[in-house]
């Protein structure tokens, strides 16, 4: 029996496209010819009353028969269709909110209701990655005014689920604005606070422009893909969790925007604030600490920029009912030794296990953040919060809590070193004066981090350390020889990684 012109039979061609729905059709099929479909046309694809928006890729080979249509793995999943079933395809009506994106491209100020239109359409899948990239670019730099950041934040909260932990219950959270390699304080802070009886349902993003995010690092130790039911169960049992935010549909627009920002290597101020605070509000947080490292090669470069960014965080947080404290910290050099998911995990475990060689800067930064959050609740003062945080960490309670959280999330496993290694040897003797955080991160990313979990580098030359000629400055780890060579090529060409005082 011949299929009707507006229907095609599905073929699973096994192509992954991450978050974007892609439909593959032959250029000579009846639908393409009669409807005038061209490559990159946006289409409505329907099956059994369910529809998705997809981007067309045109096929001119024998991979598909004339009455077949291919769907990307993501499109198959979202549509809930299997190979051999029929789907219908039609034009997508013009997306009206794109006019607002064009207005923003010309630096017009948008209203809260207009950001709601844009974000709703993005979450509904009506924007292609190209159109999302246009929106991100239009908002990049310092192009969002305070009312716009508030409007974008509220739109991102309202288009997803929001957790409710009960009336008058204090829900803590923290976030680092980034730009500093290592600095993996979150697992230590969560373990301390949960041990103190405080509730901290921590959901974290994966890396955007850095060699690792907290979710990337935690994935080397435990399962982070928790749905809402599993997340609640872990938190009610252990007072905290360490999950990937993308798996729980909290502020789903944020995860879509992040996936495109990662490709663009862009993380703009306004969108970063909206991203952070929308996730905190959606997670049901009431008290949030923002760690803001400041340094010449950190994301925030100087005290003036830090004060401005802190004021924006406070203003936006107030507008959505969050109590926020901004902690401005030292961002002149990496925190800890490891840079990359597994290598940062080694640092976290070393601090929690109170090992002799544990990085003291990571320990101290974690204690500072934990005690600051304890003070934010009003139940501890500066002295008592510090004393309690130290007691919990030094007694082993934090380590026990961390392992318990991991087991509640499904497993606890030890991270692993990558197979290939290169030791960078110092060619001079002297004292390390300054470091370039961005170049160190670049090395770790070229070695494969965060996509290769055990890739990255271990850094042994902090500011102020006296280094002898022939001493190892850092070790680069990669999961393949090709990636290691790629990182070494960059090392041989880069200048200004370390500034020496001789």
Q: Which residues are catalytic?
A: 267
Rounded Cα–Cα distance for residues 342 and 416 (Å): 6
Rounded Cα–Cα distance for residues 83 and 72 (Å): 12
Burial class for 6, CB neighbours closer than 10 Å (0-12, 13-18, 19+): middle
- What three-state secondary structure class fits 226? coil
Rounded Cα–Cα distance for residues 363 and 354 (Å): 9
The answer to whether the beta carbons of residues 438 and 432 sit under 8 Å apart is no
Rounded Cα–Cα distance for residues 147 and 144 (Å): 8
Q: How many CA atoms lie within 13 A of 338 on its CB side?
A: 28
- CA torsion through residues 131, 134, 140, 146, sign: negative
- CA torsion through residues 110, 114, 119, 125, sign: negative
The answer to whether the beta carbons of residues 183 and 295 sit under 8 Å apart is no
CA–CA distances in Å: residue 462 to residues 211, 417, 430: 18, 22, 12
Nearest to 187 by CA among 225, 226, 232, 224: 224
Rounded Cα–Cα distance for residues 58 and 39 (Å): 5
Residues 6+ apart with CB under 8 A from 277: 153, 288, 313, 316, 317, 320, 322, 324
Pairing relation of β-strands 240-244 and 456-459? unpaired
């Amino acid at each position: 029996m011949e299929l009707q012109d507006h229907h095609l039979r599905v073929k699973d061609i096994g192509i992954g496209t991450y978050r974007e729905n892609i439909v593959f059709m032959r250029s000579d099929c009846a639908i393409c010819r009669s409807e005038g479909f061209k490559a990159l046309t946006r289409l409505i694809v329907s099956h059994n009353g369910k529809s998705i928006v997809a981007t067309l890729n045109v096929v001119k080979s024998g991979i598909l028969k004339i009455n077949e249509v291919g769907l990307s793995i993501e499109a198959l999943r979202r549509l809930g269709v299997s190979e051999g079933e029929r789907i219908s395809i039609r034009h997508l009506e013009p997306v009206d909110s794109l006019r607002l994106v064009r207005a923003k491209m010309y630096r017009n100020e948008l209203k809260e209701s207009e950001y709601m239109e844009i974000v709703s359409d993005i979450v509904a899948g009506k924007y292609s990655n190209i159109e999302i990239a246009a929106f991100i670019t239009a908002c990049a730099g310092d192009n969002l005014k305070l009312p716009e950041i508030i409007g974008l934040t509220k739109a991102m909260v309202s288009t997803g689920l929001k957790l409710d932990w009960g009336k008058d219950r204090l829900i803590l959270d923290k976030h680092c604005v980034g730009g500093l390699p290592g600095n993996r304080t979150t697992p230590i802070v969560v373990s301390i606070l949960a041990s103190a009886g405080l509730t901290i349902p921590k959901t974290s993003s994966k890396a955007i422009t850095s060699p690792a995010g907290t979710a990337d690092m935690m994935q080397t130790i435990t399962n982070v893909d928790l749905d809402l039911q599993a997340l609640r169960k872990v938190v009610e049992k252990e007072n905290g969790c360490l999950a990937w935010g993308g798996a729980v549909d909290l502020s789903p627009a944020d995860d879509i925007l992040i996936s495109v920002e990662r490709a663009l290597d862009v993380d703009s101020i306004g969108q970063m604030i909206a991203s952070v605070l929308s996730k905190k509000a959606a997670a049901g947080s009431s008290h949030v600490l923002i760690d803001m490292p400041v340094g010449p090669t950190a994301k925030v470069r100087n005290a003036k920029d830090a004060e401005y960014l802190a004021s924006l965080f406070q203003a936006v947080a107030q507008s959505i009912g969050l109590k926020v404290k901004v902690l401005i910290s030292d961002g002149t050099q990496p925190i800890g030794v490891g840079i990359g998911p597994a290598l940062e995990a080694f640092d976290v475990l070393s601090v929690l296990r109170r090992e002799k060689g544990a990085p003291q800067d990571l320990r101290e930064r974690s204690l500072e953040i934990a005690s600051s959050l304890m003070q934010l609740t009003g139940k501890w003062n500066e002295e008592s919060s510090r004393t309690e945080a130290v007691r919990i960490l030094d007694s082993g309670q934090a380590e026990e809590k961390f392992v318990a959280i991991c087991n509640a999330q499904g497993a606890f496993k030890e991270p692993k070193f990558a197979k290939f290694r290169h030791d960078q040897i110092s060619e001079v003797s002297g004292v390390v004066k300054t470091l370039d955080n961005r170049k160190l991160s670049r090395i770790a990313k070229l070695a494969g981090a965060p996509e290769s979990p055990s890739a990255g580098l271990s850094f042994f030359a902090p500011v102020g350390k006296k280094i002898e000629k022939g001493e190892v400055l850092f070790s680069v780890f990669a999961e393949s020889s090709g990636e290691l060579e790629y990182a070494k090529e960059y090392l041989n060409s880069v200048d200004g990684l370390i500034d020496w005082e001789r």
